[in-house]
Amino acid sequence: MTLVLIAMIGALLIPMVEALQDEDIWQRMLAFASIATKTSVMILVIAVLQDDWMIGVVGVLILSVGNAALMLLAHIIKRVDDAMEG
């Protein structure tokens, strides 16, 4: 299971690099969405690894409400973009 966790951290690095190197805001949002999902799934895996289901409850809560913030942010960015253009 520890190997699984290391592989997951490796996968988590890809969107982080992308968020650092790309200037375009939407590519960054995409990377952030990916990071959000991956970290919450990692929380679940750690919960199983540690055999501590309280951590798992936190992971499930983050999964079920976390992405709402990203959706709202996407809409705000879209509105700001539209306002800047015309």
Partner 1 sequence: MINILSYTCIILGLVFWYWGTWPLLGRRSVLYKLHGLSVADTLGSMAIVVGLLLRIPHEWPLLVLALISLAIWNTVLGYVLAYCVTDDVTHDAGQEVSHGG
Residues within the interface to partner 1 (CB under 8 A): 4, 7-8, 10-11, 14-15, 17-18, 24, 26-27, 29-31, 33-34, 37-38, 41, 44-45, 48, 53, 56-57, 59-60, 63-64, 66-68, 70-71, 74-75, 77-78
Tally the residues of the chain: 86
The sign of the torsion formed by the CA atoms of 54, 29, 9, 38 equals positive
28/25 Cα distance (integer angstroms): 5
Residue nearer to partner 1 on the CB measure, 8 or 84: 8
What is the Cα–Cα distance from 12 to 14, expressed in whole angstroms?
A: 6
- The CB-of-83 to partner 1 minimum distance in angstroms stands at 14
Minimum CB separation of residue 9 from partner 1 in Å reads 11
Residue with tokens 């199983």: 48
- As measured in angstroms, the least distance from the Cβ of 75 to partner 1 is 7
